[in-house]
Structure 1
Amino acid sequence: MRRLVGAVGGAVAVAVAGCVAGLLCLGPAAARPEATAPAAATGPATTAGTDDAGRAPGAGVRAGAGDTVGAARRRTEAFPGDPAAWSGLARAAIEQARTTLDAGPLDTADRALRRSLALDGDANYAAVTGQGMLANARHEFAAAREHGVRGTRMAPDRPDAYAVLADAEIQLGHYPQARAAVQRLLDIAPASAAYSRAAYDLETHGRPGDAAIALRRAVDSAATPDERAFAEARLGDLLGSGGDPDAAERHYRRALDAAPAHPYAQAGIARVAAARGRTEEARARYAELVARTPLPQFLLEAVELRRASGDPGRGGEGAALAAQVRLARADGGPVDPHLALYAADHGDPGVAVELMRREWAHTRSVIVADALGWALHRAGRDAEALPYAVRAAGTGWRNVMFRYHRGVIEQELGRPEAARHLREAAALNPYYSPPAPHRADRNG
């Protein structure tokens, strides 16, 4: 089944280069001089992680998130004229949205930032970077980029604006600019958030070994259980995508030791169970996970596990995804690529094309390119699909799903390179299996 120990679904966490080859000089881990809050939060139509919506460094579930918001709110009540108190409430709310995978607190953050800026609209670095974090969380990446640039100009030696800028640039498909922003972030604050972003860029650019080094530094420099859990879960994803479920499981379990309710680690354990043929265990784990956290990535993995195990129905997970697809079409907002992949493979490919064309107008990452290309293929428009599949491969990411999708599209077009790309997909991860309707393509 797709992505069950396969391709990493794309995080907003972005990054840079060269632990080994030296594109970036990843120095020794150090305590961070200033909290560098990751920029992505998630909501019903945005995967933290992956999804292309963006698992930001530290994404998980933390029991104390609400307590932090409550403390920040009490500070605004005690000091209603203090712009820093209001920007602090905004950041706490964004953190709560990120850690609970619930977009509701983002409205609180928006109101708090407006109040902070009303009190100090001239040199309010915390509010400007908060605006960038909020914009990234809402998938308003062009606006986030503007706030990030403004923040770096206001305070070139403070890290938060570079984190905002890096996250926005990678979602816009501006990979060299993202790399530059993360290099600067590493220079200023070589801590867990910076190393996690570095790891994502390294992986995206075909350097999984260096990405693993960066993630281990992210673990070692983690300042909170959430940061540690995020880095451990990402290590699990990285190793799982390379076809090593045993190593992946070790890191997922370490993530759960740090943050017992971490949803991406829980999903990782389910993927490992599925890869090892423990189908009933995997289904039970997904059922528990999606009951609490019905993100498109988790729902789609559960649907594809069901199909791979011979169940032709979609179950409640399919019904939930279909409802989310309808909502995405109606609200005109950001589109999680997992919704488009669901529509392409299990619903209406024309709807998948519609959704991803809309997302492509705002978001030009390789993950969106792959999803749009696959949607066009499933709609029978392979000549249109191929340029997007090629673009998805442009950074060199050794992503089994990207490689498989490109091979299938090329095969439909009679391209001689199709067989090579399909073989490469199989070699990258022997546990990867496409949805049942497409297996003949792979073996053909």
Structure 2
Amino acid sequence: MDAKPQQNPEPPPSTLPPQGATSVPPPPAPMRTTLRRAAFGAVAGAVLVAGAVIAVPDGDEVAAPPTPGPVARAEAAAAAGSPASLSDLTALIGDRQKWVETHPADAPSWAVLGSAYAEWGRRSADTAYYARAEQALQRSLAAQPGERGNVRAWVGLGALANARNDFLAAKKWGETVRARQPKDWTAYPVLIDAYNGLGEYAAAARATEKFGTLRKGVPALARTSEMYRNQGWREDALATAQEAADHAGTPAAKAAALHRLGDLAAERGEPAEALAQYDAALRTDRGHLASLAGRARALAALDRTDEALADYRTVTTKLPRPEYVLELAELYESLGLDGDARTQYARLRDLLTQARTAGVDESLTEARFEADHGDPEAAVELMRTEWAAQRRSAAVSDTLAWSLHRAGRSEEAVQYAERAVETGVRDASYAYHLGVIESSLGQDGPARGHLEEALRTNPGFSPLAAPLAQEALDALGEPEAGGPAAMQPPGPEPAQEPGKPERGAGDEPRTEPSPEASPGADKETEKETRPEPAPSASASAAPRAKPGAATAAP
């Protein structure tokens, strides 16, 4: 029986089996087959011996197959396109490390090892593993070039580029694989992440639909939910994410699906529901630290700040992603704990430096920090570079707009802020930034509308910015009464005074409703004469893809 996976396994060394893995790694595939056959013979012999002592019941009952070990579970997750648990991923890395030591020309094993290194680095926020991943993938291509069929190494390089936020490189690798093998589903997750990172949402939607036709099941449902979310179709995103959670077959996949439900609830301003989903994810997989960060965010929105701080301190220790450290620092600042906030801001700068050294692009988080807590001009330069490199996602548009505004260039900022809001992503901070920029330009009406939208979408979207949004809205005051006469609903006719003629000599005759007329007659007349409302933005949008485009396999 396999040992119980550790909650937080230590990262594996580059040449030795990791802590938390089995003492003797599983052998390579040919040897495993031999051992399985031997094990089956041993089990059969044991049954025969036992039959001499106790009666074996009649029937065609077959013994359950042995429970797969951590390496087999990680391999199965990769084959399905689902995440593996950290402990299983650790075991897989240790297994492949030992194998390639004695089989250095095994290109597929190097590709698996490199991809596992990249995934470990992404899941643990240990950027040092990205260099190991690149070395292993290049060793794979040296043993067997991609042009000779080693597309797995190309896919691994694409996943590595996405982990480093180098979306242009990821797009190149993904499109290279798709051009050679258009029915290979492994290229499409790389392409979806790359297109979304570049803001090419139409291309991401097409890649998502293709992925759903090639690889049905929970991974396709998860990607489809993400597509709907990016298009602003909240109900579809929620329904598809719930379907993914219902069909998830492993704890790691289930936790990822529940985390997605938590994110969707948080975005629509339901922190209690978000907290319930994050808690469910952590009960399913205690090592799903992204859900612990989500839990901290939800607790802060619920004003349970002591619990939020405790969770943030835990997650930033175990998973020190720059965005989590920035969130913790801003929570400290919102509570007036300026010393603690400065400590975290200094820590954030160190993490950003480490990321640059490891070739990871964290300029989005860095610009957000500089715009609000450092040098807005530096933030503008960072985002200008991103924009020039064709990285034009909603997040980049919004951050560039806010950086320009903070640097005193609101007239230039407004076009980028509008672009971020118009992408369809329902992020309260985007509406808040646009509202503040419009207010600074004297556009009080649009500013009021966008500030109200931000607080209506998610009243607790930020411990620092949400109170500022309310202050900005209060400063604008109520809109002035009145307006064009044509936009005012007609009032009731004044009652006629006794003895006064109803109309003058030149007036048209007044028509009174007949007592026999149906009660709904007046309403029907009103419906026919009332002007139709202008179509909403959502009504004029392109028709949606069917939510059932990606469904779980029966």
Pairing 1:356-371 to 2, within 5 Å after superposition: 356-362=383-389, 363-371=391-399
In the alignment, the residues of structure 2 paired with residue 330 and residue 442 of structure 1 have an alpha-carbon distance, to the nearest angstrom, of 42
Distance 1:333 1:251, change over 3 A: closer
Q: CA 1:143–1:336 in 2, change beyond 3 Å: closer, same or farther?
A: same
The residue that corresponds to 1:285 in the other structure is 311
After superposition, the C-alpha distances for 1:154-187 in whole angstroms (9 at most, x for unaligned) are 2222211011111111111111111111111111
Please state if 1:196 is matched with 2:222. Answer: yes
Which structure is larger by alpha-carbon Rg, 1 or 2?
A: 2
Whole-Å separation in 2 of the counterparts to 1:353 and 1:325 = 17
Local SS of the residue matching 1:35: helix
The one-letter amino acid of 2:457's match is L
Contact 2:301–2:463 under 8 Å retained in 1: no
**Are 1:420 and 2:449 matched, yes or no?**
yes
1:397-424 deviations in Å (ceiling 9; x for gaps): 1111111111111111112311111111
Matched with 1:273 is 299
Question: 1:34·1:159 contact (CA, 8 Å) conserved in 2?
Answer: no
Quick one: distance in 2 between partners of 1:160 and 1:346? Answer: 41
AA matched with 1:425 = A
Give, in whole Å, the separation in 2 of the partners of 1:405 and 1:334: 24
- Say whether residues 1:65 and 2:94 are aligned partners: no
What residue ranges of structure 1 are gaps of 5+ in the alignment?
1-31, 38-56
Deviation (angstroms), 1:207: 0.9
- Mapped contact 1:303–1:317 kept (Cα < 8 A): yes
Query: TM-score by structure 2 length?
Result: 0.67
Structure 1 contact 300–342 (Cα < 8 Å) conserved: yes
What is aligned with 1:24? none
Measure, in 1, the Cα distance between the counterparts of 2:250 and 2:138. Answer: 29
Partner of 2:196: 170
8 A Cα contact 1:334 1:359, kept in partner: no
Deviation at 1:312?
3.5
Secondary structure (helix, strand or coil) at the match of 2:86 reads: coil
CA positional deviation for 1:235: 0.8
- 1:97 aligns with one of 111, 118, 121: 121
Question: 1:83 is matched with which residue?
Answer: 107
Greater relative contact order (CA < 8 Å, ≥ 6 in sequence): 1
Cα distance between partner residues in 2 of 1:284 and 1:393: 33
| Letter aligned with residue 361 of structure 1 | A
1:395 aligns with 2:423: yes
In structure 1, which of residues 337, 353, 356 is the aligned counterpart of residue 380 of structure 2? 353
Q: 1:351 to 1:409 in 2, by over 3 A?
A: same
The match for 1:145 is 171
Given that 1:62 and 1:259 are in contact with CA atoms closer than 8 Å, whether structure 2 keeps it comes out as no
Secondary structure at 2:79 match in 1: coil
TM-score between the two structures when normalised by the length of structure 1: 0.82
Stretch deviating more after TM superposition (92-101 or 198-207): 92-101
* 1:335-379 superposed Cα distances (whole Å, 9 cap, x missing partner): 242322121112221222122222333321111111111111111
Query: Percent identity, aligned pairs only?
Result: 38
Q: Tell whether the 8 Å contact from 2:331 to 2:463 is kept in structure 1 after alignment.
A: no
* Mapped contact 1:236–1:252 kept (Cα < 8 A): yes
Identify if the C-alpha distance between structure 1 residues 275 and 304 changes in structure 2 by more than 3 Å, giving closer, same or farther.
Answer: same
Tell me the SS of whatever aligns to 1:393. helix
- Show the counterpart of 1:108: 132
- Confirm or deny that 1:430 pairs with 2:467: no
Cα separation, 1, equivalents of 2:351 and 2:103 = 41
| Secondary structure in 2 matching 1:316 | helix
Superposed CA deviations along residues 266-322 of structure 1, whole A, max 9, x for unmatched, are 112212222222222212221222222222221121122122223334242122123
Q: 1:156 is paired with a residue of what secondary structure?
A: coil
Query: Are 1:378 and 2:406 an aligned pair?
Result: yes
8 Å CA contact 1:97–1:104 kept in 2: the answer is yes
* Code of the aligned partner of 1:257: R
Distance in 2 separating the partners of 1:333 and 1:286: 23
Structure 2 counterpart SS, 1:397: coil
Greater Cα shift, 169-178 or 359-368? 359-368
Deviations for 1:11-68, whole angstroms, at most 9, x for unmatched residues? xxxxxxxxxxxxxxxxxxxxx997365xxxxxxxxxxxxxxxxxxx849x72333221
For residue 421 of structure 1, what is the amino acid of its counterpart? H
Give the conservation status (yes or no) of the 8 Å contact 2:364–2:396: yes
Matched, 1:228 2:272: no
RMSD: 2.4
